[in-house]
Structure 1
Amino acid sequence: MKAMREGNTIITLDNGYHLWTRTDNVGGDIQLLCLHGGPGGNHEYYENFAEKLKDLNVQVTMYDQLGSWYSDQPDFTKQENIDKFMHMEYFVDEVEEVRQKLGLDNFYLIGQSWGGALVQEYALKYPDHLKGIIISSMTDNIDEYMENITKIRESEFSPEELAFLKDCEAKNDFNERYEELIEKLNKDYIDRKQPAAISHLTSTMGVQVYNYFQGDNEFVVTGKLAGWDRSKDIHNIQLPTLITYGEHESMPLATGKRMAETIPHARFVTTPNGGHHHMVDNAPVYFDHLMTFLKDVETGNFND
């Protein structure tokens, strides 16, 4: 195992593929490992976390999961790669391998959206090295998420527009008008601030991974994630837990509150005017919640 170093590091997994990682503020008092969403997204909304958390002297480590923009991307037209990598268990075990190869111990794990699902799975399977977890904008089951996005669509669109969306989805015809309607939802519920800083000239989404697990966009779930449910298991998570949602996002706030009541040592917070990416939409409130949680756990004052 190599010593942790500042900046970008490419690690080689036991399967031979390579992952891009970055660690800022090496040697900080608190270790935080960040899991991005998607699946098939990337680390970029974590890039300012070390700066935002500098008052607590937090070492922040990010990485792009296999199939994501900065890491290796297997050929997912091959069934053998789909069978080997395109399932939740692979990505949970990948977190553990990254932890081992970077030498993380007694650390906090944060996950956004899909990353929040991985946090729950990891905490249930590999709790021994964790000090606490942060579930950011993720439910403990997909059905309640689907119910919520259905309500969102019904509240935002006319019956004619809804019929058009459903017809496009049934035909797998994601035309320009369809994309324009979905973009309205993205601007209201996903990226409310529409930051220029993380936009690119080309899409950086790992489309094959995203489509396989999720579907065409955030407001349909037609992929392998459909049916995922850990609501009967999360009471077994004994770690200090922060569940953080935007107040105006795609995840149902009622589910986040229930999760906080189910996990024995959990706190639920919301970010005003925040969408699904509320760490960008309203950074001051988001990071205040995160810093308060970390501080409370570190000082033994986390009593939730």
Structure 2
Amino acid sequence: MPKLNPDGTQFITLSSGYHLWTQTQGKGDIHLMTLHGGPGGTNEVFENFAERLAPYGVRVTRYDQLGSFYSDQPDFSDPANRQQFLNIDYYLSEVEQVRQQLGIDHFYLLGQSWGGVLAIEYALKYPEHLNGVILSSMIDNLDEYIVNINRIRETMFSKEDVAYMQQIEQQHAFDDAKYQALVSELGEHYLHHAKDPQPRHLISTLATPVYNYFQGDNEFVMVGALKDWDRRADIHRIAVPTYLTFGGHETMPLAAAERMAKTIPDATLHVTPNAGHGQMLDNPTDYFSHLGDWLVNTDTKTAFHSK
């Protein structure tokens, strides 16, 4: 296998034979790897991370997970592929394969939303490779999220609209136009609080089979394989510095974030004002300044204690 250049854009080959799109940009002693959300989203939410974090001396590695837009997309209608790849253990092993193939060690791992699930799992299994972990809009269980997202629905919509949505969900008639409009309204207010901040394509880039398998049809319908994920009993075992960042107008419950900040031994909690679930897009000035400061301060302490 040819030796990979540690910088730039390249495809790596996994042990399965499939390929992942990766890109490393920036200069500095702090190395940050990012894990995108979804499940089945893309790395594009991190496109400007290297530029935004350049003043702090941060190199950024991002990649599309298996099944996502820029990487290989197995046929998930094949039960063998679903069994092999559509589980947390696989995507956790994928993070470690990316780290090894790109020769990254003693790095910071940032997980956005679903990526935060993987970041928690990685911090629990591979702490020796981490200088720190960043959980961006992700808590340590899905039960509290499900309660919160339904509370949001009840406050946003009339009783009639909530009843209508629940009826549609029971019927699995998710293509219903009125239902789709209500789901989109949630996105406009809580997923993306700023106006039109999202990267745009002429086609959908969501890896729908991956999203549907883990999540369900949309943010309200948490019926997929991820619904029972819960690390509340283990979160205290995260032994590396941890930065928790959430939007002030967020789909994740801030009460859970506050509990995590008290439970994880070395945790810092920041709430990004005027931002929803996509904090880095809604309020980038606040998001990157606080993230950059935390990375520099944490790395300085890490370097001091290692001497």
TM-score range, shorter chain: over 0.9
Q: Distance in 2 between matches of 1:115 and 1:58?
A: 20
Does the 8 Å contact 1:195/1:280 carry over to 2?
no
- TM norm structure 2: 0.96
Q: Deviations over 1:78-136 (max 9, x none)?
A: 00000000000000010000000000000000000000010000000111110000000
Q: Residue 2 of structure 1 contacts residue 101 of structure 1 at CA under 8 Å; is this kept in 2?
A: no
- Bigger shift: residues 58-67 or 188-197: 188-197
How far did residue 292 of structure 1 move?
1.4
How much has 1:3 moved relative to structure 2? 4.2
Task: Give the 3-state SS of the residue equivalent to 2:301 in structure 1.
Answer: coil
**Is 1:113 aligned to 2:113, yes or no?**
yes
Normalised TM-score (structure 1): 0.96
Determine the structure 2 residue equivalent to 1:82: 82
Query: Could you say which residue in structure 1 is the equivalent of 2:225?
Result: 224
SS of residue in 1 equivalent to 2:280? helix
Q: Using the alignment, how far apart are the partners of 2:294 and 2:198 within structure 1?
A: 27
Q: What's the offset of the Cα at 1:28? A: 2.3
Contact 2:261 2:269 in 1 (8 A): yes
Q: Which amino acid aligns with 1:148?
A: N
Q: Secondary structure at the match of 1:146?
A: helix
> What is the alpha-carbon distance in structure 2 between the residues aligned to residue 299 and residue 127 of structure 1?
18
1:260 is aligned to: 261
Q: Using the TM superposition, give the Cα deviation of residue 182 of structure 1 relative to its aligned residue in structure 2, in angstroms.
A: 0.7
User: Partner of 1:295: helix, strand, or coil?
Assistant: helix
The letter for the 1-side match of 2:230 is D
Aligned partner of residue 275 in structure 1, secondary structure = coil
Partner amino acid for 2:54?
A: K
Identity of aligned residues (%): 52
Q: Secondary structure at the match of 1:215?
A: coil
1:104 matched residue in structure 2 = 104
Q: Is the 8 A contact 1:4 1:103 kept in 2?
A: no
**Coordinate RMSD, CA, aligned:** 1.3
Q: Structure 2 regions of 5+ residues with no counterpart?
A: none
Shift of 1:196: 5.4
Give the paired residue count: 301
Distance change >3 Å, CA 120–CA 269, structure 1 → 2:
same
Instruction: Map 1:194-273 onto structure 2 (within 5 A).
Output: 194-195=195-196, 198-273=199-274
- Contact 1:192–1:275 (CA<8 Å) still a contact in 2? yes
Cα 1:45–1:75 change in 2 (3 A) is same
What pairs with 1:1-304 in structure 2 (closer than 5 Å)? 2-25=3-26, 27-174=27-174, 175-195=176-196, 198-300=199-301
- How far is 1:197 from its partner? 5.5
